[in-house]
Amino acid sequence: MTPPVLEPTTSVRKHPQLDAMFRACECRHLNSDELTEYQRVLPEQHQRVAAAKEIAAVEQSVVERVVNEIFILYPFEKNHALARTKALRDIRIVSAYATQSMLMNDPHWYRDKLLLWLRTILQAMHFPDREIAPRKTMFGNQSNDGELQNLAPNQKAIYETYTKLKNNYRERLSAESFSLFEKYLQQTIDTLSAK
């Protein structure tokens, strides 16, 4: 898997009225006052504000579910001290940065600020092999199984973790919010599991 090629966007990251706010809230979700200010400056982006609120509201349960699901498949706790705590932290950080990137309309910032660094860290770690084989289903979606076969052992856990994050957000967010957020979740999968 190769890193995705990003299309040019009309980023609002350097907007004169938002630049300082974006820098101040890096690595966390915007609070209600910051979202109000964002919407005052960019009223046409009200759907992004609604999506950001929705993401923040469900994030904890989504991230906890992803960690629970992935820890059933991979014995991280046998190999890494504080594995659960670190997984929860890392996935929450990804979610917050992806949300902020969605508000900025800036996948380039997201890639450069977080994803390339995190990929280096994650792929340098030794992740255990999957303990539970993918289930064969007669009618289910096995598209992830083909992708997993093409990945190096260390990339498989990364790919599966962030695919589960995307799928769990798909289940919990409204269709409108997920459609705005999906490309950043897919960018996460593609970048973190790329060679």
Position 1 in a domain: no
177-195 in b/e form (b: 16+ CB < 10 A) is bbebbebbbebbbbbbbbe
Nearest partner of 107 among 7, 189, 16, 2, judged by Cα:
7
Position 4 in a domain: no
Mean pLDDT of 155-163: 95
Position 14 in a domain: no
Position 5 in a domain: no
Position 6 in a domain: no
Rg (CA), the chain: 17
pLDDT band, residue 131 (cuts 50/70/90): confident
First to last CA, the chain: 6
- The count of domains in the chain is 1
Those residues with Cβ within 8 angstroms of residue 58's Cβ, 6 or more apart along the chain or in another chain: 169, 172, 173
Position 54 in a domain: yes
Domain of 111, CATH number, reads 1.10.490.20
Tens digits of residue pLDDT in 65-120: 999 999 999 988 887 889 999 999 999 999 999 999 999 999 999 999 999 999 99
Position 13 in a domain: no
Q: Do 103 and 28 form a contact (C-beta atoms < 8 A)?
A: no
Position 81 in a domain: yes
Residue position matching structure tokens 């906890």: 64
For all residues of the chain together, what is the average pLDDT?
90
Range of the domain at 155: 19-130+142-192
